[in-house]
């Protein structure tokens, strides 16, 4: 009887251990194979910072039940995950000399959630932050009207607005003059870009919202959008900012390729690479992935970046202070 119970306990431990390690195995397989065609793989990669916990638990189970194969797999996956997480865990970069006197741009970027008709929270947040430029995603005619009614956009005379009754409306509102504003089509979906004139600096700004990698063709469209953004970033010559909801993290190949086009992530620059922004509307859990980013080119120094409450949305907005030191 005792042997039977011991065997059953070991079997249960093995099943539990393999169940704990399975999500990490899916994520690692997808990343190592450079194959991101399934939503399940994309989601596993997005949640990879948290997968280290069940992976280490699986390693503990393997040790306790003397399952060598499980231990080797769990240990290897834990090591790989820590190596991959390394770039986002770096300390803040030191600010260059003279940054205090450099021209600056305070940028507020937010996914409003197009079905969110209560803009009182965002209006109060924008008013309190006092940014120079406001870049909005999922800007619908309804929430645009609510912001206009609140008067919070009155201080932004320069604007390029493409409001839509779906998740792909955008709007850029600026205290500084705007030039060359346009709505592009990227993988068949709209994306806005403009040029912000900050003194003598012409800053190319992309207001980004990629398609979520769900549903028929969702992953393919998402990947294509990230590829197009990478190619566009390579073509830009002056100061460049891409801000918005990328529906991607540094665990995704397409986003890493975008960074490889000469861009830097504001959160990583300031030592906040593991701050998460989505989903922010869960009552029980904190945000689980950082899908929202401010990416900058080498001519720009990230002085600071922080998140706002973003009441009524499922994303946390970002406020970044940028200095032109190049």
Q: What CATH number is associated with residue 282?
A: 3.60.10.10
Question: What is the spatial distance between Cα 72 and Cα 90, in angstroms, rounded to a whole number?
Answer: 28
End of a domain among 63, 89, 115?
89
State which residues form the domain around 238.
99-324
* Banded model confidence at residue 9, pLDDT cuts 50, 70, 90: low
Assigned domain for 140 exists: yes
Domain end marker among 89, 109, 127: 89
For the stretch 157-198, pLDDT in tens is 999 999 999 999 999 999 999 999 999 999 999 999 999 999
Q: Compute the distance between CA of residue 240 and CA of residue 193 in angstroms, rounded to an integer.
A: 11
Considering the domain architecture, whether residues 45 and 104 belong to the same structural domain is answered as: no
- Residue 94 in any domain: the answer is no
Residues 128, 73 share a domain: no
Tokens of 141: 């005619």
Strands 318-324 and 300-307, bridge-based pairing: antiparallel
User: How far apart are the C-alpha atoms of 229 and 187, rounded to whole Å?
Assistant: 10
Domain count, the chain: 2
Average pLDDT of the chain, as a whole number: 90
The predicted structure's pLDDT at residue 144: 98
Together in a domain, 32 and 157: no
Same domain, 220 and 78: no
Whether 85 and 118 map to the same domain: the answer is no
Domain-located, residue 22: yes
pLDDT digits (tens, 9 = 90+) for 45-102: 787 777 878 888 888 888 887 788 888 888 888 888 887 777 788 889 899 888 999 9
307 in any annotated domain: yes
Same domain for 266 and 159: yes
Query: Do 59 and 104 fall into the same domain?
Result: no
The verdict on 77 and 186 lying in the same domain is no
pLDDT per residue as tens digits for the range 124-143: 999 999 999 999 999 999 99
Of 275, 323, 325, 308, nearest to 109 by C-alpha is 308
User: Which pLDDT belongs to residue 25?
Assistant: 81
Q: Are residues 79 and 117 in the same domain?
A: no
When pLDDT is cut at 50, 70 and 90, the band that residue 284 belongs to is: confident
Q: Domain boundary at 62, 89, 116, which?
A: 89
Size of the chain, expressed as the number of residues it contains = 326
Is there a domain that residue 227 lies in?
Answer: yes
One domain for residues 112 and 9: no
Q: Are residues 117 and 186 in the same domain?
A: yes
Question: What CA–CA distance (Å, rounded) separates 129 from 106?
Answer: 9
Residue 19 in this model has a pLDDT that exceeds 90: no
- Structural domain contains residue 138: yes
111 contacts 315 by C-beta, under 8 angstroms: yes
| Count of CB atoms situated within 10 Å of the CB of 191 | 24
Residues 107, 76 within the same domain: no
């Amino acid at each position: 009887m005792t042997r039977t119970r011991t065997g059953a306990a070991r079997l249960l431990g093995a099943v539990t251990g393999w169940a704990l390690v399975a999500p990490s195995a899916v994520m690692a397989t997808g990343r190592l194979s450079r194959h991101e065609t399934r939503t399940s793989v994309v989601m596993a990669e997005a949640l990879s910072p948290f997968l280290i916990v069940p992976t280490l638990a699986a390693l503990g189970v393997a040790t306790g039940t003397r399952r060598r194969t499980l231990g080797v797999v769990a240990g290897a996956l834990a090591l790989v995950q820590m190596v991959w997480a390394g770039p986002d865990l770096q300390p803040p970069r030191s600010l260059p000399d003279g940054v205090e006197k450099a021209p600056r741009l305070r940028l507020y970027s937010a996914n409003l959630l197009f079905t969110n008709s209560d803009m009182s929270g965002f209006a109060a947040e924008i008013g309190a932050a006092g940014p120079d430029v406001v870049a909005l995603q999922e800007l619908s005619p309804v929430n645009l009207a609510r912001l206009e009614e609140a008067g919070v956009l009155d201080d932004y005379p320069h604007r390029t607005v493409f409001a839509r009754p779906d998740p792909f409306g955008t709007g850029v509102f600026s205290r500084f003059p705007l030039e060359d504003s346009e709505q592009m089509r990227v993988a068949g979906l709209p994306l806005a870009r403009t040029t912000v004139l900050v003194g003598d600096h012409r800053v190319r700004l992309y207001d980004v919202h990629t398609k979520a990698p769900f549903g028929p063709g969702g992953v393919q469209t998402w990947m294509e959008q990230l590829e197009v953004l990478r190619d566009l970033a390579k073509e830009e010559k002056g100061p460049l900012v891409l801000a918005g909801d990328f529906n991607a993290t540094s665990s995704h190949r397409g986003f890493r390729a975008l960074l490889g086009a000469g861009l830097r992530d504001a959160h990583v620059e300031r030592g906040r690479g593991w701050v998460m922004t989505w989903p922010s509307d869960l009552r029980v859990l904190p945000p689980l992935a950082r899908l929202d980013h401010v990416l900058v080119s080498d001519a720009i120094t990230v002085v600071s970046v922080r998140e706002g409450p973003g009441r009524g949305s499922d994303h946390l907005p970002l406020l970044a202070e940028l200095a032109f030191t190049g």
